[in-house]
Amino acid sequence: MMTGEKLRFDPIGALEERTSAVDAQVLNAWQRHLGLSVPTGAAILAVGGYGRRQLFPYSDIDLLLLFANDKAAAAHKEEISSFLQQLWDAGLRVSQSVRTPAECSELHEGNIELSVSLLDQRYLAGDAGVYGTMLTKLPRFVHGQRDALVRHLSRMTRERHARFNGTFHHLEPNIKEAPGGLRDLQLVSWLAQIAGTTPQAFSGLVHLPELDDARRTLFALRGYLHQQAKRDSNILTFDAQEWIAELMGVEETAVMRGYFRSARAVHRSALGALEGEEARASSLFAQFRDRRSRVSNADFTVARERIYLRAPQQLAAEPELALRLLQFVGRHGMRLSLEAEQKMATQLAAVRQYFAAPRPVWPALVEALSLPHTPLALRVAYETGVLTALFPELERIDCLVIRDFFHRYTVDEHTLVAIQTLVELRGAQAPPASAFAGLVSEIEQPGLLVFALLFHDVGKGSPQEGHIDASLRLAERAMERIQMPAAERDSVRFLIRHHLDMSVTMNGRDPFDPSTARDFAHAVGTVENLKRLTLITYADISAVNPAVMTAWRAEQLWQLYLLTYNELTRELESERIEEADSPEQTAFLEGFPKRYLRTHSEADVTRHMQLEQEGRPRGVAVALEKSGSVYRLTLVTGDRPFLFATVAGTLSSFGMNILKAEAFANRRGTVLDTFSFADPLRTLELNPTEMDRLKATIERAVLGRADVKQLLRSRPRGAPPSRKARIEPTVHFDDQASQSATLIQVVAEDRPGLLYDIASTISSRGASIDVVLIDTEAHKAIDVFYVTAEGRKLTPEKQGELQKALLAVLRG
Amino acid sequence: MKKIEAIIQPFKMEPVKEALKNIGIDGMTITEVRGHGRQKGHKEVYRGQEYNVDLLPKIKVELVVTDARLNEILTALTTAARTGKIGDGKVFVYDVAEAIRIRNDDRGEAAL
C-alpha cells in the first residue's frame, strides 16, 4: 500500500540510509576517541533497532561498549565521555551501556532488557577478540536461559497489551506500543531467535515472510510519523492519517485499513508465538495426559486448551469440517493451536470452492450459531479465514474503517462485538443488561439473530449503495447459497431492513405520544419480531464503542420495547379484518384480528383455508409439523365450549410442553387455534406413529369422544419445583385494553397441564375465550386471555369470582 | 457572558443542535440526565409487574454565550425544543464571571 505516486519520501529506504550514515558517525567518533587509546580489549556494538539496521529518523541510537574487564572500562572513562559527547554534538540521541563479556552472559533479574537487546547486536568496531569472547558465550546463555527470557518477554508484553485494553482497535493508535504494533513484531522475531538458538550456535535475525506486508506497512507509517514530527513520535493521529494519505495519494480509510490489517496479523502472530512458548514450558507429561482430553472427537483433539486437527489435510478433503469446527469451538470455547491454524490456512481455497456452490448448510450453521461460545467460534473462524471462505461477502468489511466520532471499531470488529454482546446478554445479572437478558431466553432461534448480526452491516463495504440495501442484497446471496428455509429468510430480511428503526424512533420521537408506540407496533407486527429487534438494537448500539450503552440509553430502549409490547398485546382486539383479496378469503378471515395477517404468511392463510375445507365433513381438522426443535399444531373447527382447554389438556397428557398458543375466531364461528410446543421426552421423535395418535386423540377430544380429564389422569405429574423457584401467581384484569373483551393476564409458575387448568376454569365459569397469547420465560408462564361472557366484557362480580377461582387453581 | 442550561426531551436533541448550528453555534456540552418536573412519572404494567417510570430520561445542554447573542440563541433553542406538551423541559440562564481558554490564556468573550 505504500507505493503511491506522490511519494516524496521513501520510509523503508530511509532506514538503511540512516543506519549507514550513523555507522559512519559512530566509527568516526570511535577512531578519534577510543580506537587509538584502547587498541585492544574494547569493542563497540550496535544493539536494538540500530543493531537490526532499522534506524528510524529521529530514533535513539543504542550502543553497547564492550570492555574485556571492569578495570579497563574504568581506566577509559574520559575517552568514553568524549566519544559520546561527539555523537551528542552531532545531534544523535545516544543511549549506551558499558559491559564485559561475562556480564553479557549472566541473567540479571533487574535488567533482562540487556540480555534481550543482545539478540539484535551488531559489531561496529574495536577489538574483535573481545567481541569473539562475548559471541562464544552468547548461544549457551540464550539457550540455557530460554525459559527466563520467554517469561520476561511474556510478562512485559501482557502488561503492555493491558495498557491498551488488549485490542489493536484504536482510532488514533500508537503504532509502536499498542497490540499489533512494532514491539509485537519484534517480539515474534525475538521468540523465533530464542527458539532457534542452540548451545553451539546463535540464531541471527529470523526472517518471517508471513509478516512481510505487515512489517512494510508499519515501518512506512512510523517512518512518516518520525519524519513529519521530527522526533520519535508513534501515534497515528487523525491529522497524521490525513497527511499520510495525501502523501501516498490514497483515502484516509485506506491508510487505516492497511494499518488494521497489519496490526491484526502481527497481533495474532505475537499471541500465537507467546502461547506456543508458554505451552512448551510445561511438562511433557501434562501434554500427554491432556491429549486424552474428554472432549476430543473424531475430527479434533484437544491439548492444553488448544484444538488440533486429527488429520492434517482433512479440511481440503472434507470442507464440511469447517462447520464442525465452528460447532466444536462454539461448544467448548477453546481456540485453535498455532499448528492447526497454519495447516488450515493452506487449505482455505478448497473450503471456499466447496461452499461457493449451493448446499444445505443451514441446519449445521444455525446449530453452530446458537452455542454458548458462538462469539469465540466466529472470531476464530474469522481470524483464520474460514468464515470468509464460507461467506466471502464478509470480505467487504474486513478492517473497514468508519470515520466518525462515535465508532471505536472497524466494521468487522463491530460485527463480532455485537454478536458477543448479544450472547453475553443471556447471563447478564446487573442492570441495564439484565432487563434484556429475559428476552434472549424467550426468542425461538437465537442463531437467526446471530446470522442477521453477521450480515447487518456488510453493506457498509459498498458505499455507492445504501448500507441497508447492500446488506440485504449480500445476505440474500448468502441465504440462497446455504439454502436457508423461507421463513428464516423472511426474519433475517426483516431484522436487517429494520435494524436502525428502534434507534431512530428512540432518538427522534416522543415515547409518550401514543402514536409512537402504535406506529412502531405496526412496523414490527409481532411480539417475536419486537423482541428480536430490541436485542439486535441493544447489541448494535453496544458495539459502537464500550461507553455508548449507558444505563440512560438502555432505559430509553427498554421503554420503547415496553410501550410497543403493550401496544402489540392489547390493541389486537380492536382491529379486525373486514375484507381480503377474494370472497372466499374474506369469508374465512372476516372477524379475525388483524394481527392474524401479521403473524401468518400468504401460504399459511391458504393452508388454513384448505384445513377448514378438509375438516368440514368431520367437524375438525388438525395439522402437525415440526420446525427446528419446536412442533406446531394448527386446529380448525367450529366454536364450542372448552375447546381451547381441551386441546391444551390433550397436549399436556402426551407430555408436551406448550410454549405459545393463540386462538382466533372469525365471524362465522370458525375457530383457529395454533399451539407451539416442545417435546421434552422426545416421544414424537422416537415414535413416529405417535404423531398420528396425537392428532387423532386431539380430534376425538374436540368432538367430545375422549375425556381430557381421563387422559390427564393417566399422566404422572412432575415434582413441584423447589420452594425457592416458586413464583407467586398473579391474576390481573383489564377492562380498558380492549373495546369488547376483558383482558386477563395470568403470571404463574409453569407446570404441565397449567394451560388446561386455567382455560377450563375460565370456560367453566361460562366465559368464552376469544384470543389467547401464551408465553413462557424459564419457569414463568405469562398468559393473556381476551374473554367475554355473552358477547360482552365481564361484570365486576364475575371478575371477582373468576379471580378467586383462578388463584385457587394456580396455588394448587 | 451568560451560561444557558437547558433541560430538553431526548428526541429534541438533534433538532436543537441543528437549530443552534444554523445560527453559528456548535460548541456545547451535552449530558444524559434523568428527572421530572410537572410531567411526573407514569406507570406501565409488563407481564403482571408494575414498572414505575418516575425519573424520565432527559438531555441537558449547556453553553456559554455572549450577552449580545443571548436572546437570539434562546429563541432558536426553545423553538426547536418545543412540542407544546408537558415535559418539554426548562431553560435556565446564569451570569458568567469569567471565561479562560486554558491553551493560551485568552480571557472573557475572546475565550468563547
pLDDT tens sequence across A677-718: 888 888 888 888 899 999 999 999 999 898 888 888 876 555
Quick one: A417 and A506 in the same domain? yes
Q: What is the pLDDT of residue B37?
A: 64
For A760-777, give the DSSP string. Answer: HHHHHTT-EEEEEEEEEE
Quick one: A133 and A204 in the same domain? no
Nearest to B45 among A506, A559, A732 (CB): A732
The answer to whether the Cα torsion of A428, A432, A434, A437 is positive or negative is negative
Residues A769, A684: Cα–Cα separation, whole Å: 29
Q: What is the pLDDT of residue A4?
A: 39
φ/ψ of residue B26, rounded to 5: -125, 5
Best mutation target, B8, B11, B51, to test chain A (most A CBs within 10 A): B11
The answer to whether the Cα torsion of A46, A52, A53, A58 is positive or negative is negative
Query: What three-state secondary structure class fits A549?
Result: coil
pLDDT, one tens digit per residue, over A353-406 is: 999 999 999 999 999 999 999 999 999 999 889 999 999 999 999 888 877 667
Query: What three-state secondary structure class fits A41?
Result: coil
Residues A154, A510: Cα–Cα separation, whole Å: 53
Residues A48, A56: Cα–Cα separation, whole Å: 12
- pLDDT, chain A, mean: 86
* B47 in reach of chain A (CB within 8 A): yes
pLDDT, one tens digit per residue, over A707-733 is: 888 888 876 555 555 545 567 888 988
Residues A114, A66: Cα–Cα separation, whole Å: 13
Best mutation target, A504, A556, A806, to test chain B (most B CBs within 10 A): A556
The H-assigned helical ranges of A543-621 are 551-570, 583-589, 595-599, 602-615
Query: What three-state secondary structure class fits A46?
Result: strand
Q: What is the pLDDT of residue A577?
A: 67
* B84 in reach of chain A (CB within 8 A): no
pLDDT, one tens digit per residue, over A494-546 is: 999 999 999 989 888 877 777 888 889 888 988 889 999 999 999 999 998 88
Radius of gyration over alpha carbons of chain A, in Å?
35
Nearest Cα neighbor of B8 from B93, B104, B63, B82 is B82
Cis peptide bond prior to A432, omega within 30° of 0: yes
A6 within some domain: no
The H-assigned helical ranges of A206-320 are 212-229, 238-248, 252-280, 284-291, 314-317
Burial call A77-109: b when 16+ CB within 10 Å, e when fewer: eebbeebbebbeeeebebeebbbbbebbbeeee
The boundaries of the domain holding residue A203 are 148-280
**Residue of chain A nearest B39, judged by CA positions:** A512
A800 within some domain: yes
Contact B48 A782 (CB under 8 A): yes
Q: What is the pLDDT of residue A289?
A: 47
Quick one: A563 and A629 in the same domain? no
* B46 in reach of chain A (CB within 8 A): yes
Quick one: A677 and A745 in the same domain? yes
Quick one: A222 and A270 in the same domain? yes
Contact B44 A562 (CB under 8 A): yes
Size of interface A-B (CB pairs under 8 A): 50
Quick one: A115 and A169 in the same domain? no
pTM reported for the whole predicted model:
0.71
Contacts of A267 (CB under 8 A, 6+ apart): A168, A179, A180, A184
**The residue type at A73:** A
**Residue of chain A nearest B45, judged by CA positions:** A566
Contact B46 A562 (CB under 8 A): yes
Q: What is the pLDDT of residue A778?
A: 63
Residues A244, A227: Cα–Cα separation, whole Å: 11
Quick one: A213 and A137 in the same domain? no
Residues A359, A484: Cα–Cα separation, whole Å: 10
Quick one: A383 and A265 in the same domain? no
What does each C-alpha distance from A257 to A63, A170, A245, A400, B107 come to in angstroms? 36, 12, 11, 6, 42
C-alpha distance from A683 to closest chain B C-alpha (Å): 32
pLDDT tier for residue B22 given thresholds of 50, 70 and 90: very high
pLDDT, one tens digit per residue, over A337-358 is: 888 888 888 899 999 999 999 9
The distance in angstroms from the start CA to the end CA of chain A is: 73
Q: Residue A105 corresponds to which cell in the numbers above?
A: 552472559
What does each C-alpha distance from A491 to A453, A484, A670 come to in angstroms? 12, 11, 29
Contact B11 A506 (CB under 8 A): yes
> A192-198: which pairs have CB atoms within 8 A and are 24 or more residues apart?
A192/A273, A193/A119, A193/A142, A194/A119, A194/A142, A194/A146, A194/A149, A194/A150, A194/A277, A195/A146, A195/A277, A197/A139, A197/A142, A197/A143, A197/A146, A198/A139, A198/A143
Query: Which CATH number fits the domain that encloses residue B33?
Result: 3.30.70.120
Best mutation target, A504, A505, A557, A559, to test chain B (most B CBs within 10 A): A559
The boundaries of the domain holding residue B24 are 2-111
Q: Decide which of A3 and A100 is more confident.
A: A100
Nearest to A559 among B47, B48, B53 (CB): B53
Say which DSSP state B92 is in.
E
**Residue of chain A nearest B47, judged by CA positions:** A782
The H-assigned helical ranges of A642-745 are 643-653, 683-686, 689-702, 708-713
Quick one: A62 and A210 in the same domain? no
pLDDT, one tens digit per residue, over A112-158 is: 888 888 888 999 999 999 999 988 888 888 888 888 888 889 889 98
Nearest Cα neighbor of A448 from A548, A536, A551, A566 is A536
Query: A671: exposed, middle or buried (C-beta count within 10 Å: 0-12, 13-18, 19+)?
Result: buried
* B37 in reach of chain A (CB within 8 A): no
Per the structure, how many domains does chain B have? 1
Contact A563 B44 (CB under 8 A): yes
For A309-373, give the DSSP string. Answer: ESSTTHHHH-TTHHHHHHHHHHHH--EEPHHHHHHHHTTHHHHHHHHHS----HHHHHHHTTSTT
Q: What is the pLDDT of residue A678?
A: 84
Best mutation target, A555, A567, A807, to test chain B (most B CBs within 10 A): A555
For B80-91, give the DSSP string. Answer: HH--SSTT-EEE
Quick one: A416 and A540 in the same domain? yes
Q: What is the pLDDT of residue A718?
A: 52
Per the structure, how many domains does chain A have? 5
A99, containing H or E segment: strand A94-99
Residues A102, A89: Cα–Cα separation, whole Å: 32
Q: Is there a contact between A425 and A535 (Cβ–Cβ < 8 Å)?
A: yes
φ/ψ of residue A668, rounded to 5: -90, 15
Residues B76, B81: Cα–Cα separation, whole Å: 9
The yes-or-no verdict on residue A287 having pLDDT over 70 is no
Find chain A residues with C-beta within 8 A of B53's C-beta.
559
Contact A506 B34 (CB under 8 A): no
The answer to whether the Cα torsion of B45, B49, B50, B51 is positive or negative is negative
C-alpha distance from A260 to closest chain B C-alpha (Å): 32
pLDDT tier for residue A292 given thresholds of 50, 70 and 90: very low
Q: Is there a contact between A315 and A350 (Cβ–Cβ < 8 Å)?
A: yes
Q: What is the pLDDT of residue A3?
A: 42
What angle is formed at CA A231 by the lines to CA A230 and CA A232, rounded to 5 degrees?
140
Nearest Cα neighbor of A596 from A588, A610, A695 is A588
Nearest to A510 among B11, B13, B46 (CB): B11
Residues B70, B25: Cα–Cα separation, whole Å: 11
pLDDT tier for residue A1 given thresholds of 50, 70 and 90: very low
Contact A556 B57 (CB under 8 A): yes
Q: Residue A410 corresponds to which cell in the numbers above?
A: 472497524
pLDDT, one tens digit per residue, over B29-57 is: 999 888 776 555 556 666 555 666 667 78
